[in-house]
Amino acid sequence: MHSINQLVELPLFAEKNVTVVLKREDLLHPFISGNKFRKLKYNILAAQAEGKNTLLTFGGAFSNHIAATAYAAREKGFNAIGIIRGQELEHTWRHNATLHKAHEDGMQFKFISREEYRQKEDIKFIDLLRSEFGDFYLVPEGGTNSLAIQGCEEILTKEDELFNCVCTSVGTGGTVSGLINASFAKQQIIGFSALKGAFLKSEIEKLVQKDNWQINNDFHFGGYAKITEELVRFINEFKAKTQIPLDPVYTGKMMFGLCQMIQHDTFVPGSKILAIHTGGLQGITGMNSILKKKNLPLLHI
């Protein structure tokens, strides 16, 4: 895996005397995007060290993690198995851009019901999968485990010490936990939840030791992968102003929330904020197919 780092100052907040710099983790790799690149890095090294030749993981219809795992497996010479939420997709997945690309990259699918999917961490269920597919290296849904957090700790570098605050979107909690662990003295971490419900805080507390962080639950727009016309408009306007695309599931919501907080003077004048672009742009095509069915405006690609 290769990497590139790009910091972009956003010229949107001068009147508030707040500096916002976007760290474009979405540019790390053309197909293993952003935080997925970070989460898979040490898991793939562990799979190689254990002599495994197959990666198995879980995800939904437009999962960034499924797309990234399929490509990473192909790039590193592994077989890949995706346990996909939603039996109805078994007959339509070829029309789904994410799953079609993952299949092209060699991933084998098993489609299961949402009820079955809730057993994804159950040892008996994992044993059934081993009896069906043989031995494999298990990568959790969303990629979050201790090795993923280790990879996400590498998002922050010494040059990021000058920022008072670091902001990221939150899904399974791995990325924000890595940022918390790697944060510098006097640095605050704000995670913007992409999921409805306040359960994430207790999950993250299990993964970190520091207390310099908070989870903002105000900008999930109805829950995971839910979107509104207001969010579409914001993402399209942001791209028009900055030429930077945002994904609608994670970073789009985080940037919307951050902009709202700045407009409402949440940050003291002179604040320097680092926002993390965690990638996920491959999901825009799938989201646009949903928006089209609802006769809503489309995201600009």
pTM: 0.93
Considering the domain architecture, whether residues 77 and 187 belong to the same structural domain is answered as no
Last residue of a domain, one of 135, 154, 170: 135
Considering the domain architecture, whether residues 261 and 196 belong to the same structural domain is answered as yes
Structural domains in the chain (count): 2
Q: With 80 as the cut, is the pLDDT of residue 127 above it?
A: yes
Digit-coded pLDDT (tens) for 45-90: 999 999 999 999 999 998 999 999 999 999 999 999 999 999 999 9
Contacts of 283 (CB under 8 A, 6+ apart): 62, 64, 98, 247, 248, 249
pLDDT band per the 50, 70, 90 thresholds, residue 139: very high
Considering the domain architecture, whether residues 154 and 131 belong to the same structural domain is answered as no
Contacts of 230 (CB under 8 A, 6+ apart): none
Establish if 43 belongs to a structural domain: no
Last residue of a domain, one of 78, 106, 135: 135
Q: With 50 as the cut, is the pLDDT of residue 110 above it?
A: yes
CA dihedral 221, 223, 229, 234 (to 10 degrees): 50
Told to judge if 63 belongs to the known catalytic residues of this protein, a careful annotator would answer yes
Digit-coded pLDDT (tens) for 271-300: 999 999 999 999 899 899 989 999 999 999
pLDDT band per the 50, 70, 90 thresholds, residue 1: very low
8 A C-beta contact, residue 64 and residue 40: no
Six token digits for residue 270:
């002179």
- 242 CB-contact burial (10 Å; exposed 0-12 / middle 13-18 / buried 19+): middle
Considering the domain architecture, whether residues 87 and 209 belong to the same structural domain is answered as no
Q: Among residues 3, 33, 63, 271, which one is catalytic? A: 63
Establish if 260 belongs to a structural domain: yes
Domain range enclosing 68: 53-135
Measured distance CA(108)–CA(4) in Å, rounded = 30
Q: What pLDDT, on the 0 to 100 scale, is given for residue 177?
A: 97
Digit-coded pLDDT (tens) for 193-247: 999 887 889 999 999 999 999 999 999 999 888 999 999 999 999 999 999 999 9
Measured distance CA(195)–CA(272) in Å, rounded = 27
User: What CATH code is carried by the domain that includes residue 121?
Assistant: 3.40.50.1100
Q: Chain-wide mean pLDDT for the chain?
A: 94
Considering the domain architecture, whether residues 131 and 225 belong to the same structural domain is answered as no
Contacts of 287 (CB under 8 A, 6+ apart): 62, 225, 227, 248, 249, 299
* DSSP class per residue in 214-240: EEE-S--TTSTT---HHHHHHHHHHHH
Considering the domain architecture, whether residues 276 and 175 belong to the same structural domain is answered as yes
Q: What pLDDT, on the 0 to 100 scale, is given for residue 3?
A: 41
